[in-house]
Amino acid sequence: MKKSNLKWLLKVALLSVLTAAIAAATVSASENLTVHFLDVGQGDSELVQFNGKNVLIDAGTQDMGPRVESYLKNHGVSSLDLLVATHPHEDHIGGLLDILNDFGVKQVLDSGQTHTSQTFENYLNLIDRKNIPFETAERGQTINLDPAIKIEVLSPPIPLFPDDLNQNSIVLKITYNKVSFLLMGDAGIEAEKSLLSSGSNLDSDILKVGHHGSSSASSSSFLARVKPAISIIEVGAGNDYGHPTKKTLKALQSTGSKVYRTDLNGNIAVTTDGQKYTITTEKQSWNTASTVSKDTSSATTWTTGTASSTTAAASSNGPFVGSAKSDKYHYPSCSAVKKIKSANLVTFSSSADARAQGYVPCGICHPQ
């Protein structure tokens, strides 16, 4: 073989090795983690998808079972690697009955608390009948779904909090490279205190707010430690329980967190490559719909760390103002604004922002 031929062969070989290496790098870099926050009305349900693996956390009330099932099917889920029941309340486990009946489930992680409802008994019976491996949660466990992502069980602690199903909710922290999620279930202030003193790293980009945004969760000391850029509240429109409370919405706002809600945004999905994340919502909140182009879904991308956001939020027709003492938001020029004491004045960057914090349009100036 001639020397030049050999050189050529080497070049080709080197090139193909390089190409293969680049291809491999591209594949691993494009592997996305998606956490879905399903709109199940007044209840919780989250789906975690990574590298062909699927974890379902809660499934709303019993009547939401079919809705969760079709969501799973539409997202290519045929079986679940893990099913997590954060705690035995019906607005979290009700829909799991359909899932257990119709999907293959490789393992169940339960809070280890008993309850007296028929729904809970049926859930246990189904797991028994299908011989699904059953594990109870405990702070310090890790879930080995894939080597690339870390899933930690931060709560409940052992021993459990006495007589309070919510406080003993399973709390998970999911970390993919630089992006992290904290999923609180219905854990409240007592659980938060325990988390704060547990030494766990609570700092997270995305927070699934505890207990549907009620005032029994999301203490300011807790939020100050989590510092979520994005907060997601799973809550039913017009629910009878006053969720989310204005107090919680304000607390989230004062940490600088952007709030998404399933009652206003429908299904919410956060996709991340471990560096940046993109938020896709099924619908705009109603008062922003008119100001945004015809897209039916909105997508917003942030980079983590510094304030170098790559895309601006879909709606930004502010500023709007309101009073901490009322639930109306106004154009700054509105006559009602003059009556607001400066100490109570709140500013919103957009109507979506105002709406997300529980404010409604003023009847005088009719802000869009």
Partner 1 sequence: MKAVIDRIENEIAVLLIGEEEKTRVNFPISLLPEGCRESDVLNISIERDTTATQQAKERTSSLMEKLKKKNQGKTGIIQGP
Closest CB to partner 1 among 240 and 295?
240
Does the footprint of partner 1 cover residue 311 (CB under 8 A)? no
Closest CB to partner 1 among 62 and 326?
62
With CB under 8 A as the contact rule, the residue among 243, 258, 330, 355 that binds partner 1 is 243
Does the footprint of partner 1 cover residue 332 (CB under 8 A)? no
Does the footprint of partner 1 cover residue 198 (CB under 8 A)? no
Which two structure tokens, joined as six digits, stand for 343?
A: 């100490």
Closest CB to partner 1 among 89 and 208?
89
The residues in 95-134 that bind partner 1, with binding defined as CB under 8 A, are 115-119, 122
Q: CB under 8 A: which stretch of 162-170, 177-185, 292-300, 356-364 binds partner 1? A: 162-170
Does the footprint of partner 1 cover residue 241 (CB under 8 A)? yes
Does the footprint of partner 1 cover residue 166 (CB under 8 A)? yes
Does the footprint of partner 1 cover residue 178 (CB under 8 A)? no
Does the footprint of partner 1 cover residue 254 (CB under 8 A)? no
Q: CB under 8 A: which stretch of 19-27, 218-226, 234-242, 321-329 binds partner 1? A: 234-242
Least Cβ distance, residue 116 to partner 1 (angstroms): 5
Does the footprint of partner 1 cover residue 135 (CB under 8 A)? no
With CB under 8 A as the contact rule, the residue among 36, 67, 89, 328 that binds partner 1 is 89
With CB under 8 A as the contact rule, the residue among 39, 44, 46, 91 that binds partner 1 is 91
Does the footprint of partner 1 cover residue 242 (CB under 8 A)? yes
Closest CB to partner 1 among 165 and 195?
165
Q: What does the binding site for partner 1 look like in residue numbers (CB under 8 A)?
A: 61-63, 89-91, 115-119, 122, 163-166, 214, 240-243
